[in-house]
Structure 1
Amino acid sequence: MKKTHLALSIVLIAAFLIGCPSKPVEEPPAVTQKPLVVFLVRHAEKVDASKDPDLSEDGKKRTEALAEVLRSANIEHVHSTDYKRTRDTAEPVAKAASLEVEKYDPSDLEAMAKKLKEAGGRHLVVGHSNTTPELTKLLGGDSGPEINEKGEYDRLYIVTIGKDGSANSVMMRFGEAYEEKEEEEKKAAAAGA
Structure 2
Amino acid sequence: MKRLLLAAVLSLFAASTAAAQTVIVVRHAEKADASADPLLSEAGQARAQALAAQLTDAHPSVILTSPLQRTILTAAPTAAYHSVTSEAVPLNTGIQAHLAAIVAKVEAAPDDATILIVGHSNTVPLIARALGYAEAADMPECEYDRLTTLHLLGEGRAHAIVSRYGEPTTC
Q: Normalising by structure 2, report the TM-score.
A: 0.80
CA distance in 1, matches of 2:22, 2:159: 10
CA distance in 2, matches of 1:133, 1:77: 19
Percentage identity across paired residues of the two chains: 37
CA distance in 2, matches of 1:163, 1:142: 14
Question: What stretches of structure 1 move > 6 A for 4+ residues in a row?
Answer: none
The residue identity in structure 2 corresponding to 1:38 is V
Q: For residue 104 of structure 2, what is the aligned residue in structure 1?
A: 114
After TM superposition, give the deviation of residue 36 of structure 1 in Å: 1.0
Query: Relative to structure 2, which stretch is displaced further, 163-172 or 98-107?
Result: 163-172
After TM superposition, give the deviation of residue 143 of structure 1 in Å: 5.2
The superposition leaves residues 135-165 of structure 1 with CA deviations (integer Å, 9 ceiling, x where unpaired) of 000000145432121x210000111113676
CA RMSD of aligned residues (A): 2.2
CA distance in 2, matches of 1:169, 1:48: 32
After TM superposition, give the deviation of residue 176 of structure 1 in Å: 0.5
Q: For residue 17 of structure 2, what is the aligned residue in structure 1?
A: 19
Is it true that 1:37 corresponds to 2:28 in the alignment?
no
Q: Normalising by structure 1, report the TM-score.
A: 0.71
The residue identity in structure 2 corresponding to 1:94 is A
Work out whether residues 128 and 136 of structure 2, in 8 Å CA contact, stay in contact via their aligned partners in 1: no
Return the match for 2:140 from 148, 159, 183.
Answer: 148
CA distance in 1, matches of 2:105, 2:64: 11
Return the match for 1:93 from 70, 78, 93.
Answer: 78
Work out whether residues 113 and 138 of structure 1, in 8 Å CA contact, stay in contact via their aligned partners in 2: yes
Is it true that 1:172 corresponds to 2:163 in the alignment?
yes
